[in-house]
Amino acid sequence: MQTEQEKIDALRETRQRNNSYAWLLSDYINNSPCAISPSFLHEIDEDGILPEATLVTAILSGLLNLDPSTNEEDNILIDNYLRQSVTLLRQDIYKENPYYKNICIPETSFQNWKLTKTVYQPYEAFVYKDIIVKNDFREIPQIGFFSTPFSFPAVHENGREWMAIKPSEIETMQPAINQVAGNVAVFGLGLGYFPYMISLKESVSHISIIERDSAVIQLFNTYILPQFEHKEKIEIICTDAFDFMKNVLPKQSYDYAFVDLWHDTADGLPLYKKAKGMERFSPDTKYLYWVEDSLLSAYRWQRFDAILSGSKSYDDICQKLRNESLARELL
């Protein structure tokens, strides 16, 4: 049986492994996401005997410079992280998505914004889902790939993708889509994916979209909103999100607020913290946040050393590191 100190040391090792694995994947996805190709797979497995996901995982371990035969730490990363990360995705699931099927996004630009199409190449690696946090605090990024090209609409700001109708957006927004009802405030417009999806729900009566960029609103009103089946539910308010949270939302009867003001966790954590602090002004409104698990994971490791030094026991540490405790801490 492990001592208290051994358990705490194991937590420190888990933190280090989380960071090591995250950096390996980040480097691969940012710098060489298309290193695996159909010809590469055929060269290794000419007869197509191995399942694609198994083959891709094996090749990816080599491309990440993980060598389980000579390095025990690499073996742990492969068994406890990589094999639980990689998924072969089915295109039909995403192509049947109502927004993907029903909303046609044209190629057009306005000011610093551009509506366009993007394509995932066969076996191109991408994050497709929010991070999974295990009971032992291992963090497993979810990496997906398709075996054939997959195109999807996107909106770019100054040449940088801001939002797209791709697996990561569809998967990470679905829990909030399932939950909301009644009068809903949506912070951040993008391509209007979240408002469109919840407008299809009979249980949603009204949707206020809060967006400060008038150019995005003009693009949306011109090219996207006219295609909504239930545009009568939509109201767009051009104002600052945090000003609305503090000064307007408390005076209105909103059942839910969905906050999506960030590109990823790097720019999102400060905005998430600020939004959490706004919840106290509207105690009757249920706030939901895009990629909250990933944001709380980033916050967890910011707080890790302070929690360890200020806790009485291993169980106390674990309780404080849980998502629920971290989220309450920010209120």
Give the pLDDT of residue 44. 87
Both structure tokens of 247: 């000064």
**pLDDT tens column, 44-97:** 888 878 888 889 999 999 999 999 888 999 999 999 999 999 999 999 999 999
Q: Rounded to 5 degrees, what are φ and ψ at 220?
A: -65, -50
pLDDT band at 247 (very low <50, low <70, confident <90, very high): very high
Give the pLDDT of residue 8. 92
pLDDT band at 25 (very low <50, low <70, confident <90, very high): very high
**pLDDT tens column, 260-295:** 999 888 899 999 999 999 999 999 999 999 999 999
Q: Is 221 exposed, middle or buried (0-12, 13-18, 19+ CB in 10 A)?
A: middle
Pairing of strands 150-157, 286-289: unpaired
Considering only CA atoms, which of 23, 291, 278, 18 is closest in space to residue 168? 291
Both structure tokens of 52: 């694609």
Give the chain as a 3 state SS string: CCCHHHHHHHHHHHHHHHHHHHHHHHHHHHHCCCCCCHHHHHHHCCCCCCCHHHHHHHHHHHHCCCCCCCCHHHHHHHHHCHHHCEEECCHHHHHCCHHHHHCCCCCEEECCEEEEEEEECCCCCEEEEEEEECCCCCEEEEEEECCCCEEEEEEEECCEEEEECCHHHHHHHHHHHHHCCEEEEEECCCCCHHHHHHHCCCCEEEEEEECCCHHHHHHHHHHHHHHCCCHHHEEEECCCHHHHHHHCHHHCCCCEEEECCCCCHHHHHHHHHHHHHHHHHCCCCEEEECCHHHHHHHHHHHHHHHHHHCCCCHHHHHHHHCHHHHHHHCC
Give the pLDDT of residue 69. 85
Give the pLDDT of residue 228. 98
Find out whether 123 and 34 touch, Cβ atoms under 8 Å: yes
Give the pLDDT of residue 205. 98
pLDDT band at 162 (very low <50, low <70, confident <90, very high): confident
Give the pLDDT of residue 113. 86
Does the domain formed by 172-297+316-329 have CATH 3.40.50.300? no
Measured distance CA(165)–CA(182) in Å, rounded: 25
Give the pLDDT of residue 1. 82
Give the pLDDT of residue 120. 97
- pLDDT above 90: percentage of residues in the chain: 86
Give the pLDDT of residue 27. 96
**pLDDT tens column, 193-242:** 999 999 999 999 999 999 999 999 999 999 999 999 999 999 999 999 99
Give the pLDDT of residue 288. 98
Mean pLDDT of the chain: 94
Give the pLDDT of residue 50. 83
Average pLDDT on 108-131 reads 92
Write down the domain spans for the chain.
172-297+316-329
Give the pLDDT of residue 49. 84
pLDDT band at 110 (very low <50, low <70, confident <90, very high): confident
